[in-house]
């Protein structure tokens, strides 16, 4: 095991310089000095300053620290904040990134046998322990883990598989077909029997497809081959015989038929499930869909750039039925708890600017204005912008602030993209300023009161 303390050396050095701060009773009675100090910082709205300081190779000036500290409002839902190793990141939000024992798997760029690749590390957020799991050369950005511990890894023209429950954790190449580029965001079925990949053949004759690969023997089954590129393909964890995917259309064009599902019997040619054009001719811009764990439906975002209203977080059934869960003009990425009671969303900007929404009568919820025109417009290496994370009650649509994160202007892999741990105790995300995977521990009492109010 790599001790977590190795990665917070700068943090510990800074604790020696910190002035005494009174402890708020709401943060509990932890006996770990580092944890207590982090909670004190949270209560003083200073977490982001802490993260910037301990996640960088330079020290913030007092003036800079004061500015950053103002950027982090406190939240009663947060018990503590934990950050992973520098340059680490969690996987894409529609894939499972948690191991069977509950630890979170993160990736970090490295050199593997003289080639660019990724190290995979397992983080126990409760203890802070970090265990190196595997190193893979030529691995693409994201990954997926089955419930029985199989790790699926995309490569440019193929897929690798590692059995994390095996003592050897040997990499096995189960697909290699030059010319067919594998998308970075592959998926693996919950039982580990199949891997799902979206592939593109860019040379003539051009082609696009979604395929499944049997993990036991590597058999490839081409299940879809539309005339357009497939994106965000993933299994429904509720009903894995259903596959969810998206029509990928490059800007400045917009797809009006983005969200699709496939099933060998019920929808063998695919089924478009979100009619994005309203009766008045105005169009929704939707994306960042994620299949729900507890029912045959997806969670998705109708973005603030949509002409159609209302915008925000939607539930869309495989049968095409949809409902607005919670209105917002700034939602960006979303995810949902295993029990389906609550969701998390990251925003395009902050949630501070409260104005009446276009459908203000919707359960009396006030919604932020559309994303600021300058959001993610800054240039330069390492540029980022604020992306608040909110909790959402799936039943009532009410929201609560959780954490102020930062989203990279350059995009992947440091878009915030929150995910909820299988036990519902942690929200994992990526922070561009700290340049690492991070997690906040959720105060379960506060969460339960929020969901039952």
In CATH, what number is assigned to the domain containing residue 445?
A: 2.130.10.10
Average pLDDT score over residue span 298-313? 95
Centroid of chain to Cα 176: 28
pLDDT digit string (tens) for 384-432?
888 999 999 999 999 999 999 999 988 899 999 999 999 999 999 999 9
- Name the percent of the chain lying above pLDDT 70: 79
DSSP H/E element including 170 = none
DSSP letters spanning 288-338: EEEE-SSSSEEEEEE-TT-SSSS-EEEEEETTS-EEEEEE-S-EEEEEE-T
201 and 155 in a common domain: yes
| Gap between the Cα atoms of 356 and 325, Å rounded | 17
57 and 87 in a common domain: no
239 and 281 in a common domain: yes
61 and 80 in a common domain: no
Decide if 327 contacts 359 (C-beta within 8 A). Answer: yes
Q: What is the pLDDT of residue 204?
A: 95
Average pLDDT score over residue span 89-93? 97
Decide if 216 contacts 193 (C-beta within 8 A). Answer: yes
Query: Is residue 195 classed as helix, strand or coil in its secondary structure?
Result: strand
Which residue in 141, 134, 182 sits closest to 161, CA to CA? Answer: 134
Which residue in 237, 236, 208, 238 sits closest to 223, CA to CA? Answer: 208
394 vs 41, 200, 319, 341, 422, CA distance in Å?
Answer: 31, 36, 19, 6, 17
User: Does position 293 have pLDDT exceeding 90, yes or no?
Assistant: yes
Q: 10 Å Cβ neighbour count for 31?
A: 6
Range of the domain at 197: 75-452
| Gap between the Cα atoms of 330 and 406, Å rounded | 14
Total residues belonging to the chain: 453
Of 50, 74, 98, which marks where a domain is finished?
A: 74
157 and 20 in a common domain: no
396 and 284 in a common domain: yes
Which residue in 157, 158, 162 sits closest to 136, CA to CA? Answer: 162
Of 74, 90, 105, which marks where a domain is finished?
A: 74
Centroid of chain to Cα 284: 22
Residue 151 CB partners (closer than 8 Å, separation 6+):
105, 120, 133, 134, 143, 144, 145, 161, 162, 163, 164
437 and 414 in a common domain: yes
Q: Where residue 364 falls among pLDDT bands split at 50, 70, 90?
A: very low
User: Does position 9 have pLDDT exceeding 70, yes or no?
Assistant: no
Q: Give the predicted TM-score (pTM) of the model.
A: 0.83
- Mean pLDDT is lowest, of 189-193, 197-201, 350-354, for 350-354
Which residue in 195, 134, 190, 194 sits closest to 164, CA to CA? Answer: 134
Q: What is the pLDDT of residue 65?
A: 41
Query: Is residue 222 classed as helix, strand or coil in its secondary structure?
Result: strand
Decide if 258 contacts 287 (C-beta within 8 A). Answer: yes
First to last CA, the chain: 42
Of 48, 74, 100, which marks where a domain is finished?
A: 74
Centroid of chain to Cα 302: 17
Q: What is the pLDDT of residue 63?
A: 45
82 and 53 in a common domain: no
Q: What is the pLDDT of residue 17?
A: 25
Number of domains comprising the chain: 2
122 and 104 in a common domain: yes
User: Does position 19 have pLDDT exceeding 50, yes or no?
Assistant: no
196 and 312 in a common domain: yes
Crossing angle of the two packed helices 33-43 and 47-54, in degrees rounded to 10:
130
Half-sphere exposure of 432 (CA within 13 A, CB side): 22
Q: Where residue 382 falls among pLDDT bands split at 50, 70, 90?
A: low
Average pLDDT, the chain: 83
Average pLDDT score over residue span 151-164? 98
Average pLDDT score over residue span 245-271? 90
90 and 30 in a common domain: no
124 and 203 in a common domain: yes
Token pair for 101: 């024992």
């Amino acid at each position: 095991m790599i001790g977590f303390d190795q990665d917070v050396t700068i943090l510990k050095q800074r604790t020696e310089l910190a002035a005494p701060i009174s402890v708020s009773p709401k943060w509990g009675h932890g006996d770990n000095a580092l944890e207590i100090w982090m909670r004190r910082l949270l209560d003083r709205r200073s977490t982001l300053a802490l993260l910037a300081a301990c996640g960088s190779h330079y020290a913030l000036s007092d003036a800079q620290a004061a500015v950053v500290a103002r950027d982090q409002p406190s939240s009663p839902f947060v018990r503590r904040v934990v950050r992973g190793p520098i340059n680490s990141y969690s996987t894409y939000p529609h894939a499972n990134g948690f191991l069977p024992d509950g630890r979170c798997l993160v990736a970090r760029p490295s050199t593997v046998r003289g080639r660019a690749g990724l190290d995979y590390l397992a983080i126990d957020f409760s203890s802070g322990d970090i265990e190196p799991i595997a190193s893979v050369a030529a691995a693409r950005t994201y990954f997926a883990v089955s419930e029985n511990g199989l790790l699926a890894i995309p490569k440019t023209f193929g897929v690798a598989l590692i059995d994390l429950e095996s003592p050897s954790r040997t990499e096995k190449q189960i697909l290699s077909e030059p010319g067919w580029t594998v998308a970075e965001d592959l998926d693996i079925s919950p039982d580990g029997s199949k891997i799902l990949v979206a592939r593109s053949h860019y040379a003539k004759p051009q082609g696009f497809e979604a395929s499944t690969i049997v993990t036991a023997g590597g058999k490839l089954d081409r299940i879809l081959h539309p005339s357009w590129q497939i994106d965000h393909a993933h299994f429904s964890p509720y009903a894995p015989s259903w596959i969810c995917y998206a029509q990928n259309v490059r800007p400045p064009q917009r797809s009006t038929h983005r969200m699709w599902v496939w099933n060998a019997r019920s929808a063998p040619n695919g089924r478009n499930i979100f009619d994005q054009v309203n009766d008045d001719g105005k169009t929704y811009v939707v994306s960042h869909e994620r299949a729900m764990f507890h029912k045959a439906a997806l969670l998705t975002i109708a973005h603030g750039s949509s002409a159609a209203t209302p915008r925000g977080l939607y539930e869309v059934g495989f049968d095409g039925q949809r409902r607005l869960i919670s209105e917002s003009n700034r939602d960006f990425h979303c995810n949902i708890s295993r029990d389906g009671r609550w969701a998390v969303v990251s925003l395009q900007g902050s949630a501070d600017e409260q104005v009446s929404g276009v459908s203000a009568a919707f359960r009396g919820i006030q919604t932020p204005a559309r994303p600021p025109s300058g959001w993610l417009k800054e240039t330069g290496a390492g540029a980022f912008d604020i992306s608040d994370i909110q909790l959402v009650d799936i039943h009532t649509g009410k929201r609560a602030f959780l954490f102020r994160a930062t989203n990279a202007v350059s995009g992947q892999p440091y878009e915030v993209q929150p995910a909820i741990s299988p036990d519902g105790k942690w929200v994992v995300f990526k922070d561009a300023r700290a340049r690492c995977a991070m997690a906040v521990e959720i105060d379960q009492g506060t969460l339960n009161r929020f969901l039952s109010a």
